[in-house]
Structure 1
Amino acid sequence: MAEEQQQAFLAAVAALQQQAQQAALAQQQQQALNLSAQLQAQQLQQQQLPATFPNFNLPAVEKIGGPKYRQLLKTIEEIGKDLKPIYCNNKITTERYKRSLIHLRNLIRDCQSEVEKERVSQNQKLTAELAKLDKDHSSSRSGSLHVIEDYSNPSISTREIPTEGGVFRFTFLPDQSQLIAALTTGRLALISLEDYSITQSDVISDTMLLDVSPSPVPASTTVLSSTNQGSLILYDIDRMDTVLRWDAHSLPWTNEPCEVWTCEMVDDTVVCSGGEDTVLKVWDTRSTERPSSQIKVFDAGVTFIESIGDNKLLTGSYDELLRVIDMRAPKTPLHQVKCGGGVWHLEKCNGGWIASCMYGGWIIIDEQFNPIAQDSGAGKTLLYGSGLAPDGKTMAYCTFNDYTLTVSHLDDNRTWPEIYPIPA
């Protein structure tokens, strides 16, 4: 019995040893498999893999959630991924790169178009806002004309005539009994020099009036006025009614209406205009679809026109030149004078004309168009108007930046040492 128990015990031990050996072998096999897997992984990491190229597909605008500019940035980023393979002379990537450059050029043009559309849109919004602001505040505009009754003592002899709007330009009517003024509110104002009463027209333009010129024909009641939006207006001051209105000047590079700085009635059928487009135009009021002639000798905006008889025009321009032009042969001016500043206005005086030359001060020119006196220092604060009294010794000029009218007297050396500024 004891022997049987001993044999059974030995058999159990042998079975346990066999199981232990099998378990150890299985563990060794698992370890070997793990080691083999690790070695394979290391070999894969160390192995030189062939280059893989990006799958280049341009995203649509809606996929990147932005305008063409954002698509352009994304395209540039994608093209950058193709640069290294191109260095390896990969033909597929090179061809794709060429196609991408063509697409990139198209995107750049689209971006430029978007920028231009945005600029136009912003300009339209700004114009609308300014128009609204202008309309809201037009009733608060004010201006005035100052009449100096005794220029020898201007400080105590000035009479102020209030106007509804700012006075851009004014001139005498042919009978010299009235002034007519172009106002920034789109109205004309008639001022009597006898009792200083003022009569204003209805609004004849929803923009500013820049100039006014009466007809030189005796007994005519027609005047010509210009606007800052490219148009000319014939107006009857007796009936207080618009006779004719037409578009006259526009900028050549945008075709947008531009400022018509000056206008002149040669007679009741022939009128002239000059604008920011650097062109002086001659019109027949019986047919205003196109100008009778266009005079293009100016290098900047035309600021002043006056008929001086015999088909001759006296002109001023921002290009700092005074010109005398024959309308029958306009290509070569009869006279040309360099004035040292933009020639804004010309006024007849004894023996010639006096030119208001903005930052160039004033200059007096004789009837042969030779400069005989000048004060460029008077333009330091932007001189827009000047005149010489009939005595030939009293000068008056107004400057814009300091709101001042200055009256001075000429001495025997043709200088103006005595100055009496009159702040407006």
Structure 2
Amino acid sequence: MDVAHCYLDGNVDAVEFCPHDSFHCILAASTYTLQEGDQPRRSGSISLFNVDADAGRLELSHRVETAGIFDIKWSPVGAIVGPLLAQADADGYLRLHHLECCSDGSAAGEQSDALLDAGNFLKEVTSKQVSSSMCLCTDWNPSATSISVGLSDGSVSIICLLDSKLEIQQEWKAHEFELWATSFDTHQPQLLYTGSDDCKFSCWDLRDCPSNLAFQNSKIHKMGICCITKSPSDPHTLFTGSYDEYLRVWDVRSISKPVNETSICLGGGVWRIKHHPSLPGLVLAACMHNGFAIVKIEGEKAEVIETYCKHESLAYGADWQRGEICQEGKRKSGVVATCSFYDRLVRIWMPKSDIVA
């Protein structure tokens, strides 16, 4: 069921609902736009929205003009810091924005009266130039003390956050080509997973400096790896998405191949995978040239239970809203945000599937 939509002023490539309590209604959307000409420039923005699915509202509350952004991630729930939004951008910077609330216009600087009604805005608290190469992806460790950044030259950096300052802890050449996926193991945060256009899926042990390669698989993915995410409910299960159109389920205890060859072809290229915040085994996938899919994984079985194809461009960003809403007495799976690139569109919708916890 469609709830609301909004067109932005740039190519939208990521949407992220804030996971922190009292801020579940906040959605961040980032853009990347190449300004061509004699001196090409990569510009971008972060837009904050207030989402009220019951009322069918998607209201812009704040916008920050930045360099072109490839990835954004909110800090994890339960950490001392937060809510912080990390930005990986085309200028080679990692920037951190704090989500602030204000009761009057003076606290938010130059925002218009209309935008200030919602009261939430982003304030940049610190930044660090990681490289002269572009920052393509980022991830927080569970305690929000470190952030990983994948770079366009195939390198990865581990950046420490201490007293609101960012310092590069270690960096190394992890892959031959662009590194599109970096992800901490949420159950073993000393491990970091990376994936690249070189088709290699790697795991690094961060307890050594420089980090040691714990394992590497270069045989399964037929094209570049776009995303990696650990299951929040199962310490042994991990998912990868690839340009080769497959969503794969891995057992990190036997990383030489996907566990029992559990994989499913979603079409289009799997760019993003997001786990449902409360229903184990339910994932939302952004499938680039084939819209969005909700996939249910039970043991060795993976099944597409719903697709959403109302975007007319590259399906890049997707996320679930935390919390649940009740409809006709049933506990539903909640609200989904999706975005597409060239048509500059953000959509809010609810799954049709009767997914009951």
> What TM-score does the superposition give when structure 2 sets the normalisation length?
0.69
Distance 1:141 1:412 in 2: 38
1:413-424 pair list within 5 angstroms: none
8 Å Cα contact 2:170/2:210 also seen in 1: no
C-alpha spacing 1:412/1:289, structure 2 compared with 1 (3 Å): closer
Quote the sequence identity (%): 23
Letter in 1 for 2:148: L
- Classify 1:412/1:246 alpha carbon distance in 2 versus 1 (closer, same or farther; 3 Å): closer
- Is 2:239 aligned against 1:318? no
Helix, strand or coil at the partner of 2:131: coil
**2:67 counterpart SS class:** coil
- 2:63 is matched with 161
State whether residues 135 and 150 of structure 2, in contact with CA within 8 Å, keep that contact through their aligned partners in structure 1. Answer: yes
| Matched AA of 1:316 | G
Cα distance in 2, alignment partners of residues 289 and 236 from structure 1: 15
Match of 1:382 in 2: 314
Match for 2:215: what amino acid? Answer: S
CA offset digits 1:363-392 (Å, max 9, x no partner): 1112423221112x3354111112343433
The one of 285, 290, 293 aligned to 1:360 = 290
Of Structure 1 and Structure 2, the greater helix share is in 1
Question: What residue is the counterpart of 2:127 in the other structure?
Answer: 201
Aligned positions of 1:162-241 closer than 5 A: 162-175=64-77, 177-195=83-101, 196-216=122-142, 218=143, 220-238=144-162, 239-241=165-167
The aligned residue for residue 274 of structure 1 is: 195
Q: 1:279 to 1:134 in 2, by over 3 A?
A: farther
Letter in 2 for 1:373: E
SS of equivalent residue, structure 2 residue 255 = coil
Amino acid in the other structure paired with 2:296: D
Gaps of 5+ in 2: 1-35, 102-121, 326-332
The equivalent position to 1:265 in structure 2, one of 184, 194, 202, is 184
Aligned to 2:43: 141
**Which amino acid in structure 2 is aligned with residue 164 of structure 1?**
T
**Contact preservation (8 Å) 1:362, 1:383:** yes
- Superposed CA offset, 1:185-240 (max 9, x none): 11122222333222341311111111111112x3x511111011110001012231
Distance apart, 1:154 and its partner CA: 6.3
DSSP 3-state at the match of 1:294: strand
Structure 1 residue matching 2:130: 3-state secondary structure: coil
> How many Å separate the matches in 2 of 1:183 and 1:193?
19
Kept after mapping to 1: 8 A contact 2:194/2:228: yes
Range with greater deviation from structure 2 (329-338 or 204-213): 329-338
In 1, the alpha carbon distance for the partners of 2:39 and 2:128 equals: 18
Task: For residue 270 of structure 1, report the CA deviation from its aligned partner.
Answer: 1.4
- Whether the aligned pair in 1 keeps the contact of 2:45 and 2:66 (CA below 8 Å) is yes
1:278–1:355 Cα change, 3 Å: same
CA separation of 1:410 and 1:322: change in aligned 2, threshold 3 A: closer
Higher Cα Rg, which structure = 1
Whether the 8 Å contact between 2:306 and 2:353 is mirrored in structure 1 is no
Aligned counterpart, 2:113:
none
Deviation at 1:289, TM superposition (A): 6.7
* Higher mean C-alpha displacement, 404-413 vs 157-166: 404-413
Give me the whole-angstrom Cα distance separating, in 2, the residues matched to 1:224 and 1:135: 33
Give how far 1:153 is off: 5.0
The answer to which structure has the higher strand fraction is 2
Change (3 A) 1:184 1:200: farther
Distance 1:268 1:347, change over 3 A: closer
- Tell me the CA shift for residue 161 of structure 1: 3.0
Partner of 1:305: 228
Give the deviation of 1:280 after TM superposition.
0.5
CA contact (8 A) 1:209 1:225 kept: yes
Which structure has more relative contact order (CA 8 Å, sep 6+)? It is: 2
Q: Give the equivalent residue in structure 1 for 2:213.
A: 291
Segments of 5+ residues of structure 1 without an aligned counterpart are 1-132, 251-257, 415-424
User: Which aligned pairs between 1:402-421 and structure 2 lie closer than 5 A?
Assistant: 402-411=343-352
SS of 1:370's partner is strand
> Any conservation in 2 of the 1:184–1:208 contact (CA below 8 Å)?
yes
Is the 8 Å Cα contact of residues 94 and 127 (structure 2) preserved in structure 1?
yes
RMSD: 2.6
Q: 1:373 aligns with which of 306, 309, 319?
A: 306
Amino acid at match of 1:400: F
Amino acid at match of 1:180: A
